[in-house]
Every structure is written in C-alpha cells, then in structure tokens.
Amino acid sequence: MSFGDPNNPYGQPPQAPQAPYGQQPPVPPQGGPGYGYPQQPQAPQQPYGYPQQQAAPQQPYGGYPQQAGYGMPGMPQGYASWGARVGAYLIDYLIVGLLPTILYFVALAMSASAATVTPDTSSCPPGDIQCISDAYNKAADTATPVGSFVLIAIAGLIGLAAGLFVLAKEGSTGQTPGKKALGIRLVKEATGQPIGFGMAFVRKLCHILDGFCCLGYLWPLWDEKSQTFADKIAGTVVVKSQ
C-alpha cells in the first residue's frame, strides 16, 4: 500500500539530483542567495571620478573640542584700544578708589587744622618751665587727633578690600567693573583664557615698571598688540569682548 506519489512506493522524500561520479556540483550563479542564508545587499559603489565624502572630524582625547586662543595662528585679534583701557581704569577708580580717597583727604584736613593750634601759656607764671612744657605737650596732643588716624585706617581697609575684589574679578573673568562697562577683557595671550588671581596679582606688581615716566602706560599707543610692559612680562593682552 502506497501514499502520495504512485511512482514512489516507499514514501521516501524526493532527493536532489546527484551529479555524476567525478564531476563537481553546479555552482550557483553570483549574487544569488547562498545555501540556507539570505545574502546582505551590498552598498552601491560610487563611480570613479565622483567626489568622495569627507570623514567626520575626530574629537580630541576626552571628547571635548579645543578652543582656539587669541595667540594662536590664524585667530583674528581684536585688541582693545588705548582709550578704552584708560576709560576702564577711570571707571574702576571711581567705583573702588573714590571713597578711600575722600576719607584720606578728610583725615589730612583734620590733621592740618589741628597743627595750627598754638600752646596757651598765658596762665603760666613767669619762669614756670613746667607749666610752659605742659602747655606745649597739650598743644602737640591736640595736633594729632585720634579721628584722623581712624579715618586713615578705615580708608586703607576699604582700599585693600576693593583692590582684592577687583583682582579676583579680573583673574577669574578677565573683566573688572570698568572693563565690563567698556566691553574689553584681559586674557592670556597663548590660550585666550582668564589668567587667574595669582597672575593678576603678579601683573599688578609689574605695573610698577609702567609707572617710570608713564612710558609703559603709553606703550599701547604704538604697540602692535596694545600691550604695556606688565602685559609683556605676564604674557597677557586686553581684547574686545563684544
């Protein structure tokens, strides 16, 4: 008794045709699917002569893009003018140094008015050296009022605190109140970044060299980078921030 194909009495599944002995089986045509696995379609290749696509730029180590500094080649330089720097200094002085200066003048005025006090020896009997000496000592004590010393001390503390504040702002952001008002910034020439509090303090000390005949303060008028002597020593430039 047979099932299915009457020509296949034993119920065996049909076998693939075998190649004759000694011959290789036929090779499937190129591009067709292999045995049991579908082939992945290949991406089309661009003909010769067509422009190739540029590879995406690689990020530096760490994945963070580097910023070009003001001192790097090819970077446009926007140096601050001499007038803008002078204007920023005057604004800083009005904000920071005006009050200490007023207190100093008040203290000097108090000392000057007290210095005009003359000893009163009218009550001393003739020849009483001790009475005359006491009168002169009393006048000397009046000539140096305690209030003037107090005002000078207060002015010094205010000036010191204000100076440290300006240096901290200039070192961390590159801008004092005056520089921020006029749109200029102090940066490191090699990196274009703020210089920090320490270098800001060193640069402030280097301004002593600029004070000789004011030559260093006038040097930005003809310098190609608008630098003072202190800027050249500290490696800094003042640039436009807008």
Encode pLDDT of 101-132 as tens digits.
999 998 888 777 665 556 666 677 776 677 76
What does DSSP assign to residue 93? I
Residue 216 class from Cβ within 10 Å (0-12 exposed, 13-18 middle, 19+ buried)? buried
Residues in Cβ contact with 188 at an 8 Å cutoff, skipping those fewer than 6 apart: 69, 71, 194, 195, 199, 235, 236
User: Which pTM value belongs to this model?
Assistant: 0.58
How does pLDDT run across 232-241, given as a tens digit for each residue?
999 999 999 8
Residue 58 confidence (pLDDT) above 70: no
Cβ atoms of 87 and 182 within 8 Å: the answer is: yes
Element (H, E) at 140: helix 129-143
